[in-house]
Structure 1
Amino acid sequence: MDEFFSWQMLATFAGATAATGILTQFLKNLIPKLPTQWLSYLLALVLLCAATAAIGDFTDWTSWAILPLNAALVSMASNGAFAAVKRAAEGKGKTE
């Protein structure tokens, strides 16, 4: 692997989710009045738009139309992944 992120990787669900989660955690304290879930959604939307444009996948209006839905899915997955990691770090995910 030559680089950490590529435009092709950011255009995938896993890549967009990872990048959204990382950026959300870095930026959430810079904009404290904006709810974290909204920040996560906006970051996911921007990342997906940029990645889709960079790989040249904006061929017609359907690519634009599906991006808000995909951004919602990426945002929810990113928020859920962070919650799971936080819960595991606190030891609340253990079953005995």
Structure 2
Amino acid sequence: MKEIREADERWLRILFGEPYEAKFQSGGVHVYDGNGDEVLTYTAGVGWHEKESKAETQVHGALKAAYYDAYHAARQEINGMEVQGGFDARA
């Protein structure tokens, strides 16, 4: 069993590089990044399941906020336009 576990860890190092940590628990594998965030899980019933790290969550939050701010500013600009020459620009 020890040889199998060591071989599994070698494959995980090849796939994910360093640093990472893998824990084998109750028939599943949990892979953690260098910050200790669980980023990947494998279970027999589900297979591989990817999870966002804290850094990825922060980036996605910043992107969503930037998109919302730009969208909100554009909507305010459209709603603030005056009707010119009988043509409604909002339509």
Q: For the superposition of Structure 1 and Structure 2, which TM-score range results when normalised by the shorter chain? A: 0.3 to 0.5
Q: Which has the higher helix share?
A: 1
Q: Which has the higher strand share?
A: 2
Q: Which has the higher contact order (CA 8 A, sep 6+)?
A: 1
| Higher radius of gyration, 1 or 2 | 2
TM-score normalized with structure 1 length: 0.31
TM-score normalized with structure 2 length: 0.33
